[in-house]
Copies of this chain bind each other. A is one copy, B any other.
Amino acid sequence: MSQLLSDLRVIEVSAFIAAPLGGMTLAQLGADVIRIDPIGGNIDYRRWPVSDANGTSLYWTALNKGKRSVTLALDTQQGREIAQAIITASGENAGILLSNLPASGWMGYDALSAKRDDLIMLRLTGNPDGSAAVDYTVNCASGFPMATGRGGEPVNHVLPAWDVAAGLYLATGLLAAERHRRRTGKGQEVTVALADVMLATVGNLGYFADVRVNGAVRQPIGNDLYGAYGHDFPTKEGRRAMAVAISNRQWRALGKATGLADKLAMIGPLMGVDMDDEGGRFQARDAISAVLAPWFAARTLAEVEAAFAGSGVLWGPYRDFGQLVAEDPRCTTANPLFREIDQPGVGPLLVPGSPLSFPALGERADHRPAPTLGQDTDAVLGDLLGLSSAEIGRLHDEKVVG
C-alpha cells in the first residue's frame, strides 16, 4: 500500500488542519510529501493539545505523520528562493504545491509557474473572495449549530468537520489535477474556499431545497435522527446507547431483539402513521422512544450489547475519548487501521494509517510517525536541489536553513 502513490511528490506549505490533512492523506498512500516550514515551525507548531511532559504538540504530530520536514528562513530572499526551487524541482510527478496559507509574492502561482510552467498548485482560502475564515467562523453561519442540541442556543460541533472535508477535497482535487496534467501536460492553480466546502455540503444534503421548496428551516431535535427513527437511551448504570432503524429490516430487528414488536406495532394506529415507512416512524418517534426506554433503562450497556449481538439491530454505545481508547475493540491493533509506533517527542502511540485499504497491495503498512521539525532539510537540499554538503553547511551557518 505504501507503494500506491510512491512516485508522486507533493510540497506542502501549510498550517493547522485542512492542508496538512490533505497532504497526510496522500503521504499515507505512499506519496513523498515534503512540508516546508519557517525555522522554528509555523503557527500551528505549538497548537494544543500538547504533551504535558515536554510541550510537543500532539495536534501537529498527529496531522503530519508520514511527511518529510524541511525548515527554511522564509523571511529571507534566499530562503524563499530555496523554497521555490524545491517546489518547482524537476520530475514528471513532482511540481505540486499544497497550501492553505496566503499565497502571494514568492509563493503566488504566477511566480512559481514562471519557474515551472506545468506547476500544479492547490490552495485553500477561507472565503471565496480570499478573505480569512476558519472552521469555527464558517460553521456558525452553516445553519448546523442552530439545528443541533435541544434548542434555545446554538451548539457548535467540536469535530472540525469543514477542515476535515476541505482537506479531503484538496486530496481529491490534487489527484484530479495531476491526472489532467498527465493527459495534457498542463498544470494549473486549483482553489477551494473553506466557506464553499460548507456551502456545497449544506446544499448537497438538501437543506437549501428544503428552505426554498418547503419554506422549512430544520429545527433542533436533540439526538434524534431526522426523517427516520433514531434515539439515544440511558442504560441502567447511566451509560447511553444510540439505536437506529432506517430500513424496515432494521426496524423489525429492533422490535424482535427487544421483544417489544407487538407494542411497537400498536403505535401505528395510536399515532395515525404508517409504521412501515421511515417517515411515519420519524413522526411517531416520541411514542416509539417511550416504549423502548424502559427496556434500555433495565439493562446495563453490556446487557444491551449482548441482546443486540447478531440481531441486525443498528446501534452503538456512547463513549468519551477515554472510553473509546479503553473499551472499543476497533480502537486496537486488532484493527489493521492501527499500529503502535514510536512518535519522536511523544513516545509510543497507537496511530491510524489511511482508512483506505488496498488489500491487493498487502497489509496496511504506512504508519510512519510525524517528522521532527527540519529533520529532512539536508536530504532534500541534497537530493532535490543537488547541493553539496559544503553548500548545505554554509546555508546552515548563514541560518538560511534550519
Q: How far is the CA of A347 from the CA of B207 in the complex (A)?
A: 15
Stretch at the interface among A71-79, A218-226, A258-266, A284-292: A218-226
**Knowing A24-B204, A155-B149, A356-B169 touch, does A210 contact B330 (C-beta < 8 A)?**
no
Q: How far is the CA of A319 from the CA of B138 in the complex (A)?
A: 10
Within 8 A of B (CB), among A227-279: 227-228, 230, 232, 240-242, 244, 246-247, 278-279
Max chain B CB contacts within 10 Å: which of A58, A160, A241, A358?
A58
Q: How far in angstroms is the closest Cβ of chain B from A61? A: 7
Render A176-216 as a binary contact track against B, CB cut-off 8 A, 1 for contact. Answer: 11111011001011111101110111111111111111101
Interface of A, helix, strand, loop or mixed by DSSP = mixed
Interface size grouping (class) on chain A: 35 or more
Asked if residues B136 and A325 are in contact (CB atoms below 8 Å), the reply is: no
Q: How far in angstroms is the closest Cβ of chain B from A260? A: 19
Stretch at the interface among A41-49, A82-90, A391-399: A41-49
Stretch at the interface among A32-40, A125-133, A380-388: A125-133
Q: How far in angstroms is the closest Cβ of chain B from A162? A: 9
Asked if residues B188 and A361 are in contact (CB atoms below 8 Å), the reply is: yes
Chain B residues with Cβ below 8 Å from A128 are 330, 335-337
Chain B CB within 8 A of A140 CB: yes
Q: How far in angstroms is the closest Cβ of chain B from A192? A: 5
Chain B CB within 8 A of A62 CB: yes
Pull 13 A–B residue pairs with CB atoms less than 8 Å apart, ordered by A.
Answer: A4-B176, A52-B213, A63-B206, A65-B204, A132-B314, A133-B314, A140-B241, A141-B324, A155-B155, A159-B205, A160-B205, A188-B361, A212-B325
